[in-house]
Structure 1
Amino acid sequence: MTKKTGKSKGRSKDRRHLKAVPSTPKMPLQLVMNHRVIDSMAVDFIQWNAAEAPDPADAFECLGLIKLFLTAQHAVNGSSSATAIDSDGVEQAAGAIAVSLDPDEMEEAFDDIYFALHSYIHFLKGTGRWSGTDAAFEELHSALGRGIAAAVPQLPDIQVPDLSEEHQDAAFNAMPLIQRATSLLDWIGTGKEVTSTGALRLKDIEPAAAAVGVQARGKRAASRAVPLFDLETAGNQPETLLEVGTMHDVPVLREIWSALVGADLIRVGSTKAVPGPEASAWNSTDTEERLNIRRMLSVVLLVGVLTEEGQVWDQEAVAAILLGVLAYGTTDEPMPVADLEKLASPDLEGALLPEAGVEDTELDEAGLEDSALEEIYASYAALQAQQKLSLLAELGLVEAATDYRIPPVAIQCLDLAMGFLKLADDPSDATESPSNVIALHGPSHTGGPPNGR
C-alpha cells in the first residue's frame, strides 16, 4: 500500500487548478509555419532593405507587420502563405487590424500595412522567393496600389527629344552622376566587404564617399543627424569630414549606391558587394549597350528619389511638388527657382518646429490658426522637394540656374521613371529613336534588385 504524503496531495491539487485554467487557442499549423518562414528570411530581408532603411529595427518592424497581416488574413480566408500572398481579402485583413486601434490611428495603420506588404513582396520577387505566379504577383501589386500616384496633379505631356547616339553618349559622359558612379564602380573593383546589414564597413566609408565627391568618414556612435542637402554649399567641401555611423548617412553616396544596386551594377551579398550582372555593360564598346545601362541607372535613381520615404509626415505632398517641377522642367514653362524658394520660406522656423520636438497640439495652444498650420506644412513639403531637386542638380539630372529645367538627355530618363510609376495617363507622344528606348525592369521600393531580375 502506497503511503500518501502531503506533497503528492498538494501536487494533485495544483493539477486540478491548472485544469480549471482555459487553454490558449492553438495557432493553425500553416500559420505557424508561415511565421517561421518569415523568421528564416529576416537576415536577408535586413540586408536587402538596408539600401533604403539602414536601421535593422525598421526591417524587423516591417516583418512584424507582415506576420500580423498573415494572421489576420488566415482568420479571414482560412489559409495563408508567406511566399505567395493572396490578393483576396487584403483590404479585409488590413481592416481587421485597423479596427482594433484608435479611430485616429486607422488611416496610418492602413498605410503602414500596405507599405510593409509592398516592400515585402518586392523582396520576395527580387530574391526569387515569390512562389506564386507572375499574374498573382501583379494582381497583388495592383491591389496594394501606389499611394504616391493619388496625390499627383495633372502633369504636362513629356516630349522626349530624338537624340543621336553620339549626342547621348557625350551628354551621359559629361553628367556628374555617370562620372561619380564610374569612380565608385572603379573603387569597388572586384568587391568590397560589407556588414551583416549590407552596408560598407566604417573603414571603407571615407574612400567610397571620396569616389562620389563627398568628404565623410565612418565613426562608431556618430550622430545620425545629417544636414539637408543644399545646392549652394554642395560644391564647398567642409573643413572637417562629415562623421557618420553608416554609409547610408552620407548624402550622394547613399543615392548612387542604391541606384547601382537597383540597376544590377552591383550585387550586395552577406559579406561582400561585388559587380552585378550588368557591370560588363558599363564600359561596353557597344554604344547602345552602354547607353542603355547609363539610362537605366538614371531612371533607377530618379525613381528612388521620387519614392524615398524620409522623416516626412506627408511624402505624397513632397512627391506632388517634385513631380510637377520636373514635368514642367521639360516644357517651355519651367518653374523659376525663386518661386519654389518663396514657397519653401514663408515660415521656415515654424516649419522646422516639429523636428525640435514641438507637437501640433502645442502649436495650436500657441494660437496658430489651421490655415497658418497648413501654410507651414506646405512650406516644409516645398523645402523637402527643394532639397531633392538640389541633389538632382548636383548629379546633372536637373539644371537649376534661374529655372528648373531638365537636360535633353535626362528627359527620356524622367519619362521612363514616370512611366514606371504609372503617373502618366498615356505614353509620351514623342517619336523616340530606338536608342532612346530600353526595356525597363522596375527598381524595387527599397533599391533592391529590379523586378524580374
Structure 2
Amino acid sequence: MSKRKKAPSGNPANRGLSFVDRRIARDFERWLAASDTPLSDPHNAAGAVGHLFDITKRSGLDILEPSDTADIADMLLDIGPNATGMVDLFHDYVHFRLETSRDPRWHQAHDELEDVLDDDTGISAMLEAIITDAETRDPAVIADALAHTKVIDGVTKLLDWISTSRPITDTGALRLSDIEPAAAALGLRAAGARTLPATGDLHGQTAIADGITYVQSMWHLEPLAAWWRALLDTDVLELTASRVRPGRASQRWRTEPTPPLDVASEVVALVVSDTVLGDLPRPLRLGCFTLPGARHTCARGPHPRRRRQARTPHRDRRTIRPPCRTRLADARRSRPGRTDPQPPRHPIRRSRGLARRLCYRPARGPR
C-alpha cells in the first residue's frame, strides 16, 4: 500500500528561502504585528513578507545584506505603481533592521534607501517643463534636426543597401559578412569575424584592432543592435523566416521629402531608451517615446546623491533581472536579438527614477 505524500505546509513564498531568511522573516512579521500599520494583521503580514523575500531572492539580491538595499529599492520601483505597497513594506523592513540589528551598515543603507525614494521628487517639474517646451516647437524644425542625426540619416542608406531583401541568421541578425556595410550606414567602423583578433579583446565578444570593432554576432555590437531593434519595432524593417526586407513604414521614408516625424522620433526615442533602460520589458521601453525626455535621461547620468562607491564590488548590476523583467522573458525571446545568454550591455550608469518617469508616460504616435 503506497503512502500518500504529505502536502507541503506553510507560506509557499517561504519554501525557497534559507533558514536564516525564514527566521528574519518571522521576526519581521512579529515586528509588524506590534506596529500600527495595515500589516499588523498576522495573516496579511505573512503573505506580504514572504512575497518580498521571495522576489528579492529570485532577483539575485540579498535582503539580509545592507549593501543591496538601494538595488532592491530600484528593483521594486522598476515593477511600477503596482509595487507601491511592496516598496513601503521594504521601507518598514529597513527600519526593522535598524532597530534590531547590530550591524552599523544599516544606517548607511537607510540613507541610500531615502536617496532612491527621493529620486523622483526633484526632477518631475524639470522633466515636465522639458516635455512641454518640446511640444510647443515647430514640427518642421524638429524633423530637420532629427534628419541630421546618424540614427535617422543612416536609415535611407540602410534601406538602399538592403534593397528588396537580405539574408539573416536564425536569431534575426545579419550575417557576419553583412555587418560591415550595415554598421557603416550608422557611421560605425565594425565587421563580423568568426575569430576575434588577439589584440584589444573586450568581454570576450568584441575586439578592437586598427580602429575597427570586430564582433562574432551583430547582437554584440550594441549600437547597431539597438538601431536594428528600433527599426523593426517601428516597421521600417520587417523579418521573414530567413530574410530582412523594408517594412510598411519605409514607403513613407522613401516618398516624403524628409523622414516622417512620427516614425523618426519614435526610432530615436527607442534607440535612446534601449541604451538607457536596458533590460526593462518591451511594453515599458515602448512607453519611452518622448524624445526630449529620453535625451535628458541620457545626458543626466546617475543621481548626484547616490553613493555607489561602497557597493559590493563582485556583483555586476547589469546581470540583475527583476521579476518584472522575467515575466515577459518568453515574449521577449521571440524578438530578434533577445536570445539567452544575452551579450553584455554597454556599462552605462542609469538614472532609474527619471527612466521610470519616461516609461510610465503614455506612448505617443501611431503604435
TM-score (norm. length: structure 1): 0.39
Rg (Cα) greater in structure: 1
**Structure with greater contact order relative to length (CA < 8 Å, sep ≥ 6):** 1
